[in-house]
């Protein structure tokens, strides 16, 4: 039989047994004045299901097994749940590190570097706005004078080298000197020409530099230097102020969200184990290993058989003789001893009038439901079992 259909079957059987008990009710008093009632054994039952879905990996219990509170009845495959938890933990660690960095603000070396950039920009702007200093002009003038002197020396050297070249050229043509000797003078003449060219270039560069210093900085150069200072100052302000408060608030929110995600992942991993909520007996096992179950799908039916109760109905005329806490004796067919119990519940309103009572007078009487609580440590009483309850009226 399909295990899942057993849950419906239990309800149907209970209803049938109740009807049978109702059909067999005989209310009356025996020789010693005890009130004899027919009743049915009932107990607290719970339908258990997984709070997360997945494949059933292991089933630890079977129908009829007694289990303790907290005992694992079945377990789902948890590989995907473990991966989800590890991912959530990693995200939480990253979020915490990001928030810590934001709350600490900028590092000292970052602030020092930004401050140095500001000072450098200020110095550049001051030089631009103040024009060229006298010392710089004097130094440039000295470099120009040196370049002019070097040019004059190069000009004199070239004149001498030119004269030597012309004189030794004639001697070479007349055969008075050899070609090697003549070539040495010819090379000296060429070197002198190159030296003069370099000297003239140095004079030109020094003269141009001196002119620029005397003219001072251009307006656009000053504006660029001022803009550079503003940028450096803005960067320094940002570094020293640290992250904005709204940025840190967003980081805190991300950390809270990541922590909640981690907690949920851990909770789902915990939910992969279905545990008994109380000491009891497994009535129905509706899940098998390898089965794919959805959240909320019935997996087990668990009954608390250690403290069942007897459900009975009492006539209105007998109700004044019964009180809460009153002792009762429960008798079972085939058992030579009775089981002691106590009345723990009396309905505050009539429920129905059985059609099977013997006389017309009795049919007009309303019936009140009561409960008689008993101990069942030895497991003799079973759900749905018909019993006889004897109560001595007050």
pLDDT, one tens digit per residue, over 243-289 is 677 888 899 999 999 999 999 999 999 999 999 999 999 999 999 99
Between 56 and 100, residue with greater pLDDT: 56
Domain count across the chain: 2
pLDDT of amino acid 121? 80
Question: pLDDT band at residue 219, thresholds of 50, 70 and 90?
Answer: low
* Residue predicted with more confidence, 8 or 294: 294
For position 304, which CATH number holds? 2.40.30.170
Same domain, 316 and 369: yes
**What pLDDT score does 17 carry?**
38
Q: What does the pLDDT average to over 216-222?
A: 64
More confident residue, 117 or 236: 117
- 255 and 329 co-located in one domain: no
Containing structural domain, residue 337? 5-51+300-391
The position carrying tokens 């001022």 is: 226
The answer to pTM > 0.75 is no
The phi, psi pair for 278, rounded to 5°, reads -160, 165
pLDDT at 2 over 60: no
Report the distance separating Cα 283 and Cα 61, nearest Å.
11
Among the residue ranges 101-110, 297-306, 368-377, the one predicted with the least confidence is 101-110
Q: Mean pLDDT over residues 52-75, rounded? A: 95
Tell me, yes or no, whether 75 lies in a domain: no
pLDDT reported for residue 216: 59
Of the pLDDT bands very low, low, confident and very high (cuts 50, 70, 90), residue 166 is confident
Query: Is the same domain home to 377 and 316?
Result: yes
Domain boundary among 271, 289, 313: 271
* pLDDT over threshold 80, residue 11: no
Question: pLDDT tens, 34-54?
Answer: 899 999 999 999 999 999 999
Same domain, 304 and 376: yes
Domain annotation covers residue 225: no
Mean pLDDT of the 313-335 span: 91
> Per the domain annotation, does 14 fall within a domain?
yes
More confident residue, 354 or 191: 191
Is 87 among the domain residues?
yes
State both tokens at 220.
């656009």
Q: Stretch 319-337: mean pLDDT, rounded?
A: 92
Q: Which band of pLDDT confidence, cut at 50, 70 and 90, is reported for residue 236?
A: confident
For the cut 50, the answer to whether the pLDDT of residue 138 exceeds it is yes
Instruction: Give the pLDDT score at 189.
Output: 86
Residue 12 pLDDT exceeds 90: no
- Tell me what percent of the residues of the chain surpass a pLDDT of 70: 82
Q: Is the pLDDT of residue 202 over 70?
A: yes
CB 10 within 8 A of CB 63: no
Q: Is residue 238 part of a domain?
A: no
Please give the pLDDT value at position 66. 92
Joined together, the tokens standing for residue 120 give: 């450098």
Find out whether 325 and 342 touch, Cβ atoms under 8 Å. yes
Chain centre distance of CA 265: 8
In a domain, 95, yes or no: yes
The answer to whether residue 233 is domain-embedded is no
Domain's final residue, options 253, 271, 289 = 271
Residue 220 has pLDDT above 90, yes or no: no
The mean-pLDDT minimum among 189-198, 294-303, 335-344, 363-372 falls in: 363-372
Distance between CA atoms of residues 353 and 313, nearest Å: 10
pLDDT higher at 123 or 64: 64
Q: What is the reported pLDDT for 369? A: 94
Q: Does residue 23 belong to any structural domain of this protein?
A: yes
- pLDDT of 111-132, one tens digit each? 778 788 878 887 777 766 665 5
Dig out the tokens for 58 from the structure: 């292991």
258 shares its domain with 325: no
Q: Please, what sign has the CA dihedral across residues 351, 356, 357, 361?
A: positive
Residues 307 and 251 reside in one and the same domain: no
Same domain, 308 and 369: yes
pLDDT at residue 131, as a whole number: 54
| pLDDT of 355 | 56
Residue 310 has pLDDT above 90, yes or no: yes
- DSSP letters, 186-246, are HHHHHHHHHHHHHHHHHHHHHHHHHHHHHH---HHHHHHHHHHHHHHHHHHHHHHH-S-HH
Model pLDDT, residue 218: 59
Query: What are the beta bridge partners of residue 246?
Result: none
Q: Which of 252, 271, 290 corresponds to the end of one domain?
A: 271
Residues 310 and 380 grouped into a single domain: yes
pLDDT at position 243 is: 67
């Amino acid at each position: 039989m399909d295990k899942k259909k057993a849950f419906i079957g239990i309800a149907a059987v209970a209803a049938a047994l109740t009807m049978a008990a109702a059909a067999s009710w005989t209310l009356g008093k025996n020789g010693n004045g005890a009130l004899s009632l027919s009743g049915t054994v009932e107990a607290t039952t719970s339908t258990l299901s997984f709070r997360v879905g997945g494949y059933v990996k292991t089933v630890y219990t079977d129908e009829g097994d007694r289990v303790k509170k907290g005992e694992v009845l079945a377990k789902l495959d948890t590989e995907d749940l473990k991966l989800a938890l590890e991912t959530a933990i990693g995200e939480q660690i990253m979020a915490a590190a990001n928030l810590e960095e934001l709350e600490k603000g900028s590092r000292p070396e970052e602030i020092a570097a930004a401050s140095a950039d500001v000072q450098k920009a200020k110095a550049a702007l001051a030089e631009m706005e103040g024009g060229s200093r006298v010392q710089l002009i004097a130094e440039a003038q000295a470099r120009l004078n040196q370049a002019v002197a070097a040019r004059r020396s190069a000009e004199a050297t070239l004149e001498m080298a030119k004269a030597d070249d012309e004189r030794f050229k004639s001697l070479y043509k007349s055969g008075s000197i050899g070609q090697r000797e003549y070539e040495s003078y010819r090379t000296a003449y060429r070197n002198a020409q190159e030296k003069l060219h370099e000297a003239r270039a140095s004079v030109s560069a020094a003269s141009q530099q001196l002119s620029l210093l005397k003219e001072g900085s251009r307006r656009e150069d000053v504006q660029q230097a001022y803009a550079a200072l503003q940028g450096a100052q803005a960067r320094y302000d940002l570094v020293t102020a640290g992250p904005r408060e709204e940025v840190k608030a967003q980081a805190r929110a991300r950390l809270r969200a990541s922590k909640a995600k981690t907690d949920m992942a851990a909770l789902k991993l915990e939910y992969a184990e279905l545990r008994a909520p109380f000491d009891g007996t497994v009535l129905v096992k509706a899940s098998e290993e390898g089965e794919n179950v959805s959240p909320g799908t019935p997996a087990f039916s668990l009954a608390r058989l250690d403290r069942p109760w007897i459900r009975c109905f009492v006539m209105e005329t007998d109700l004044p003789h019964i009180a809460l806490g009153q002792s009762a004796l429960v008798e079972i067919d085939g058992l030579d001893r009775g089981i002691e119990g106590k009345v723990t519940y009396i309905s505050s309103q009539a429920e129905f009038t059985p059609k099977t009572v013997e006389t017309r007078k009795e049919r007009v009487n309303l019936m009140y439901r009561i409960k008689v609580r008993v101990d069942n440590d030895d497991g003799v009483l079973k759900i749905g079992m018909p019993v006889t309850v004897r109560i001595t009226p007050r």
